[in-house]
Amino acid sequence: MDIARPQCHRRLVADSLTLELADFVHQVHTGIYSEETGKPQPLRFTVHARMKPVAHYDADTSLDASKNYMDLKFACSDALGDTHFKLIEAVAEHVCETLFVQDARVEAVSVKIVKLALSEADEQIGITLTRERR
């Protein structure tokens, strides 16, 4: 006798690959108040870049099947240059745009920035910006 099994209603989730940079600190020219301008401030970056993965990774899969992780660090440091950003939202936007321009396979980027100079008791004050490729 066959026993009917209940149908599970599951949403299909597409495969994805997320590259991550966590807790990277870099000095950035940012701020609008007089005590913030004229000198860089320490910002802590956490970045997630979502890409479509290849069908399978094995021991011999080459780097071109992924993305160089150091590109995330570059987007949060050297790519910012000496530009003064009034808002850390603009810093996060620049990081997203840099990663989108670097690699067409990047589908979405999330950037969390914590302004370390504002912390008084190890709290984290900042923003998270998420952008999907348009």
Give phi and psi for 21, each to the nearest 5: -130, 125
Q: In this structure, is residue 75 part of a structural domain?
A: yes
Structural domain span for residue 126:
17-56+63-132
Among the listed residues 116, 105, 129, 118, the one whose alpha carbon sits nearest the alpha carbon of residue 23: 116
10, pLDDT greater than 70: no
What Å distances lie between residue 98 and 32, 39, 93, 133, CA to CA? 23, 23, 9, 12
Question: How many domains does the chain divide into?
Answer: 1
| Cα–Cα distance measured from residue 34 to residue 55, given in angstroms and rounded to the nearest whole number | 52
Place of tokens 């599951």: 10
**What is the average per-residue pLDDT within 46-50?**
98
Mean pLDDT of the chain: 90
Asked if residue 28 lies in contact with residue 12, where contact means CB atoms within 8 angstroms, the answer is no
Q: What is the domain-level CATH number for residue 39?
A: 3.30.1130.10
pLDDT tens digits for 82-129? 999 999 999 999 999 999 999 999 999 999 999 998 878 888 999 999
75, pLDDT greater than 80: yes
Stated pTM of the model: 0.86
Q: In this structure, is residue 5 part of a structural domain?
A: no
